[in-house]
Amino acid sequence: MKVLIIATFVALSVAAPQYPKPAGYSGYKPDYKPSYKTDYAPAPYDFAWAVKDDYTYNDYNHQESSDGNGYVKGSYQTLLPDGRVQTVTYTADDYTGYVADVQYSGEAKYDYKPAYKPSYPAPAYKTPAYPAPAYKVPAYPAPAYSSPAYKAPAYRPKY
């Protein structure tokens, strides 16, 4: 009887339904090929811009041009805080890389500023009325050590 019950459970577990593998989704594929071009040849360009704001003392300009074959040349100028003008003229190509020539024109001007003098005298400090603290060395008696007194060991190892 026990064998029959065990055989029934084994048969039921083997007869369990097996689920099929899920179907994959491949998605739709276009029936056409894209007609747009993805690789463009470099185009020549030329640009320039400038900023001059007397209120904030901003004075910048930049110009650059390219022949479309990898050769770029240009320059930019900046008005520095000390009154000089920094001019950077550069070229860049595939052979020499970026080559810049930096030049400064004008002379640095710094405004005269006299040394600071406060309008009131510096504070004067008086020595305090109480005496300065003094360190007193503590007086401890010197330690006295006696010679050690111990017995010689009675145990003798046998090697």
- Evaluate if pTM is beyond 0.85: no
pLDDT in tens, 41-58: 778 999 999 999 988 888
Q: Does residue 120 belong to any structural domain of this protein?
A: no
Backbone angles phi, psi at 49, to 5 degrees: -150, 160
DSSP conformational letter for 113:
-
Q: Does residue 67 belong to any structural domain of this protein?
A: yes
Structural domain range at position 91: 45-105
Q: Does residue 156 belong to any structural domain of this protein?
A: no
User: 85-93 and 72-79: which strand pairing?
Assistant: antiparallel
Q: Does residue 132 belong to any structural domain of this protein?
A: no
Q: How many CA atoms lie within 13 A of 156 on its CB side?
A: 1
pLDDT in tens, 133-148: 888 888 888 888 888 8
